[in-house]
Structure 1
Amino acid sequence: MIATFEYPRYHTPWTTFRMPTSPRKDIERYLRHGQHDDFFRAWPGEDFLARAKCGDTALREALIATVRQRTRHATVPEALAGIDVVAFTRAKLAPMARGLFPRDEQETVLDVLGRSVVFVTPDTITTVLTATRSLSTAWDLANLYLEGCDAELLGPDARQIVGLSEETTCYVSAEYFRAPSRFADFVVHEAAHIFHNCKRRTIGLREVRGREWLLEIDFRRRETFAYACEAYSRIGGCGASPPRAAAAAGRPRSGNNAGGRSRRCPRVPRHPG
């Protein structure tokens, strides 16, 4: 079994949700608020499965069309041209895996981490929005992509995020390659959430002393843990070579996301202990 993690989501209160009376209105509500009727009652079909398939397909197609229309001139970042994403991810996350797991488990964990990252770009956005499990996650990822393209978000409920984890997949905005701040690395941040999302037996590891998940992390401290992994990775990376250390010691460039947090969820306060 694998759990799903998403940053806290802010819904329009259920009391304000009115049942759509037509597919067109269901599409309008979904595009604007990321909400839809879970029973797809406005959609044609002989039974629930037929209605759900019809509605799900139509909502995703409308979402993709809207996103494509708003990002007609978007391009893939030069930093991603020809990059081996698996090798890049393994190298980025290897220090974290080696620091948190015993030697005989490190390669297994790294294999999972290496395949975990998906950069949301013009080349991948259609596949991402089609393949993700839930419509609500697809809507969040559409806004993540729009934010990374400096395009208009879908609605007032859209969260300004640069990363999102679902099961063992980490979706990361192409904004990752633009002027990172001193301690920001949201590939590491999102990957850190895999440890409490994924059970050991799911990736072939045996349970140790009743430990079911890769890491048992208290729910209230999961964001703190992810930020700690992020900072540790940056400190280690900066210390790896004098030029990188010198570059990281300088001031972040002016402009958006100068602190590395403005487009993420608020920093979670540290808990004692």
Structure 2
Amino acid sequence: MALDFGISPAAYDYISEVVYKNSRIYLGATKQQLVSSRLAHRPKAVGVKSFDQYCDYLHTHKNSDEIEVLVDLIATNHTYFFREQPHFDALAAQLLPGLLRHVPAVRNGLRCWSAAASSGEEAFSLAISLSEFNRGQRRIDWHIYGTDISRRVLASARTAIYAAAKVKLPDAGLMARYFQKGSGPYEGQCRIKAALSSNVTFIQANLFQAAYPVPQPQHIIFCRNVLIYFDPPSQAQLIKRLYDALIPGGYLVIGISDSLHGIQHPFDNLGGGIFRRAN
């Protein structure tokens, strides 16, 4: 017997179709509970009484902000500082030295893209890692671009303010070097120092839009724990586009939950979720 999550099969199918069309997020046939939970308040918010009526609303308001709200609520934005730490270790030990050897001009302007930046923790983790790499001598000028489909989480990222209790760093000294602790109304929060955040730009983007709003080619792209939300054809399309967005010799980093298994691609697989575009 099918479980009743308050959403009819027809409504679920229609919402899944709208989400896929506007984001390529593939919900499949078994995410009724997730959809009904995350969208529980949206019918009332747009003035209707059921998910079936909500679908009618979406159909008649195809150019409304509600489509963006819908995708935002369905998208998963789980992140934290230095998530999957080995990738940041590899950045300093492998990726940056490799670029300096094979692409010497990178010293004058490294471009790094956090392609699913969410609320900014990954982009700022990259910024901290690059700044640490440069400590003692200015070896690389760099800029990081963080993109996400959600304007809501990007608005949070641009504040560069985080709950101090949730900022877990691999070295205690990083807090003093790169964060300001809040006081008064900001007690218990911390903000990325301007010297660091000024080198990070956040831009709203859909990974499947016609053209990416970040400078190309990029030297390093982090696109982690994203592929799992797309169907195989979309995964293949995205990987090709990211390959094309990289400089020869540049690196793509995917998440521990992602895989390029079954996807034809020209990357060199360096292991650990790290791929290199051939020279």
Name the TM-score, length of structure 1 as normaliser.
Answer: 0.23
Q: Which has the higher contact order (CA 8 A, sep 6+)?
A: 1
Greater fraction of residues in strand: 2
Greater fraction of residues in helix: 1
